Amino acid sequence: MSLAQRHIHAAADPGSGPLDITRLRAAAEDLRDSYQQARPFPHVVVDGLFDNSMLQSVVDEFPRADQPFWYRHIHRNSLKLALNQPQHMGPTTRALLAALNSAAFLGVLETLTGIDGLIPDPYMEGGGLHQIGARGFLGIHADFNVHKKLRLDRRLNLLLYLNQDWPASYGGELELWDRGMQAAQQRIAPLFNRMVVFNTNDDSYHGHPQPLTCPENRSRKSLALYYYTAGRPESERSAAHSTLYQKRSGALRRLKSLLSRG
């Protein structure tokens, strides 16, 4: 198993609230080196981080896709729903999001990643709840790098998946691509109680470009939180930009092959 594929199991104590910070801090110390060395960019996959019953409550509260308050991303690079308005979320979901934005959890992330001075986003710009139904997808991309309102530098993504009984045939794997956009280096199934944390910069390319093949009554559900700092290393600096969608080399080769056959 490669460093990038290493998973840990850190089941929370149900009596300790949404997060068991003591256990998480120890896990972060243990995983710090492997996080930094992961390819194609620093990341980690963590299983069993939360109490299953608590997370089941989050699933039970998850708003239906037909609710009008979802923001609908419908364009050539994305077909998904997003929600960052707490008033439309359940109490357990709000408590979990607050815990993931707490000073204690920020300290865990700083230990894990080596990035000091992390700042949460109270506006959840681009984050919050995500939901993708049958035939939905998210093209490979690097994220926007500066928060428009806070003027802070985006440094980390945290994704927590909520999908029970999710067979591989449904698709929806998170793909992490190399800097040259030649191939996916990691594919991570969006399984229940699985969290992924990774650095964000101009070439941390990721997404799930293959349309989902799940049934119409299922969807790929996740929580997404992004973390910022006031400044970033000079080597990572660039002008402020929106999401940078990328073309996949493999997809282009397949298209050319199909055209040549015609």
In 3D, which of 245, 243, 220, 252 has the Cα closest to residue 135? 220
The confidence score (pLDDT) of residue 23 equals 87
The answer for residues whose C-beta is within 8 angstroms of residue 205's C-beta and 6 or more apart is 40, 140, 141, 142, 176, 177, 178, 179, 181, 246
The confidence score (pLDDT) of residue 252 equals 42
The confidence score (pLDDT) of residue 255 equals 36
- Domain around 210: 3-261
Categorise residue 126: left if φ over 0, alpha if ψ from -120 to 50, beta otherwise.
left
In 3D, which of 98, 94, 95, 74 has the Cα closest to residue 86? 94
Total-model pTM: 0.89
Strand pairing of 7-9 and 43-47? parallel
Total structural domains within the chain:
1
Q: From the first residue on, what is the mean pLDDT of each consecutive set of 10 residues in the chain (262 residues)?
A: 46 58 91 96 93 96 97 94 98 97 97 98 97 97 95 98 97 96 96 97 95 97 98 94 85 40 42
> How many residues does the structure list for the chain?
262
Cα-based distances in Å from 128 to 7, 72, 96, 235: 24, 13, 11, 29
In 3D, which of 201, 212, 211 has the Cα closest to residue 146? 201
Q: 151-201, pLDDT tens digit by residue?
A: 999 999 999 999 999 999 999 999 999 999 999 999 999 999 999 999 999
The confidence score (pLDDT) of residue 17 equals 63
Residues 12, 49 contacting (CB under 8 angstroms)? yes
Which element (helix H / strand E) includes 22?
Answer: helix 21-37
CATH number at residue 254: 2.60.120.620
- Whole-number Å distance between alpha carbons of 83 and 187: 25
